[in-house]
A and B are shown apart, each in its own frame.
Chain A
């Protein structure tokens, strides 16, 4: 019976690491849009980038419970890092991504010590403050960033030396999609690892997490740094694929939008950011075409409805459906017999 339970324990734990059919379909469809929706590559590129940005927020919000109203700080820093690098002749996109990731990670690491102390309100204010400060620095340092005029003259070399960026956004979308996919795989791996489990435990109950020997602060610093690097890459993708950077990348609405995107898609399962980005962009497209001046009105209304209707409940329903599609509930292991009172 003991081996029976051991099998159950193993499958139950390891199952989380396996990809469901629904997930595989999701990415197959994403890849298919490269060929099936050629005239939509520009907006799809934006979706991939916002999706990656929201995914980075999910890492801290959904898995570690860290709230942020200033995630654009990392996005913007990544964008400027990649843009400035390209402007000064380092045109290789992958090098730009790497530098952007490192720059954002450093900022994330340093600011994590400010952010991680204190209540949720403190976190909101500190993250907001960091983004505002960075925005003003970018505004003032116009010799470097172009200030309010934006960073002009960014010209990118071909991706991996082969694929030139084109005006239809095809290379851009393929590039952003592949980068997002690769970073997604890493994130997905992390959240089912013991490290990812420890993050969830900290989110649920930091007092108890410490009481099982988890160095809570160190774990949070690590995930905040990682999340910042992801956001930096998303920003760099935007700079590289649009070959332009403006102060907008650091603006407050960027931080608010990414939060909105994640709330629409649902926190804590990694796909929320991606699905939220699709819904957000498509809605924006549709509503703007229909009634451009009321876009903010409608998205605001949708946000209120989602939050009032209970994110949890909605997410739970989607999850149940999702599991059904993935066929994972059907395969759940047999219930175990009740433990008999064990003589010890």
Chain B
């Protein structure tokens, strides 16, 4: 299988803190890959490095075999790498319709178009409708984003990333803070993402990770601790020890 996204010896230091410690990681094409690890392990930092929000201290990032280590964030998106944020990063004064419309028109090169009215192109409309339905946002399309219930905001968070039609999608704790009752719906939409999108999921809920992922990587103190199939990782006593806080001899 081809490799969608790869890092080689990735390092990030914040002063004396080694937030990413020599991480060499591979995401296979079409993978459902989970990245787990305790709070402060460096998961979000890893995503920030991959997407170019911050620059690595050392190491390399390859997207579909091409070096993107020094590439500006927006160019990575245009090459098919999109992400969501652990803490909502939405456009509070815009509607979900405008938000999705924005992402769709940017992807189709419309963002430089300053003369046509947004939404006057047929294929853009179809795309917006498709995404709104997939993420169950059709009933709130014209609300101000800041007025949406939290669960809908979380859905929009994923919808915007998906609207970039990424080939690699990085989800940073998509269900964080979502009440139990709405979790299932959110996860169903994540599970229903098209198979040709390679997904890296950061998540704390182990039930979810085990049902979603086919591979799991464990990050501890910035370094890759172990990696394997769901079986291997879930039965690894060392993982239980560091991650689940259980003692090894249990």
Footprint of B on A, CB under 8 Å? 2, 5-6, 8-10, 12-14, 16-17, 189-190, 192-198, 200-201, 204-205, 207-208, 210-216, 219, 335-339, 341-342, 344
Contacts and interface: CB of A to CB of B under 8 A. Distances in A.
B74 A194 contact: no
B46 interface: no
Interface stretch (B5-13, B75-83, B213-221): B75-83
B125 A6 contact: yes
A316 B234 CA distance: 54
Contacts of B132: 5, 9
B103 interface: yes
Contact of B107 (A213, A339, A342): A213
A338 B74 contact: no
Contacts of A6: 125-126, 129
Contact of B117 (A17, A205, A213, A339): A17
B101 interface: yes
Given A204-B94, A214-B111, A338-B139, A14 B120 contact: yes
A16 B115 CA distance: 13
B77 A213 contact: yes
Judged by DSSP, the binding face of A is: helix
11 contacts: A5-B132, A6-B129, A9-B128, A197-B98, A197-B118, A198-B106, A204-B94, A212-B77, A212-B103, A213-B111, A344-B134
Contacts of A5: 129, 132-133, 138
A194 B106 contact: yes
B85 A208 contact: yes
Interface residues of B, number: 56
B168 interface: no
B58 interface: no
Contacts of A213: 74-75, 77-78, 103, 106-107, 111, 164
B115 A189 contact: yes
Contacts of A195: 111-114
Given A9-B125, A201-B94, A193 B142 contact: no
A25 B221 CA distance: 65
A214 to B, nearest CB: 6
B51 interface: yes
Question: Which interface residue of A194, A210, A211, A337 has the most chain B CB atoms within 10 A?
Answer: A194
B146 to A, nearest CB: 10
Contact of B105 (A2, A12, A14, A197): A197
B141 interface: yes
Query: Which 6 residue pairs of A and B lie closest in terms of their CB atoms, listed nearest first?
Result: A13-B119, A213-B77, A17-B117, A195-B114, A194-B105, A204-B91
Contacts of A212: 77, 82, 102-103, 106, 160-161, 163-164
Interface in B31-86: 51, 53, 72-75, 77-78, 82-83, 85
Given A193-B116, A207-B89, A198 B111 contact: yes
B93 interface: yes
B181 interface: no
Given A212-B77, A213-B74, A214-B111, 9 more contacts: A16-B117, A16-B118, A194-B105, A194-B106, A194-B116, A208-B160, A210-B73, A210-B77, A211-B85
A13 B102 contact: no
Contact of A2 (B103, B111, B129, B185): B129
Contacts of B125: 6, 9-10, 13
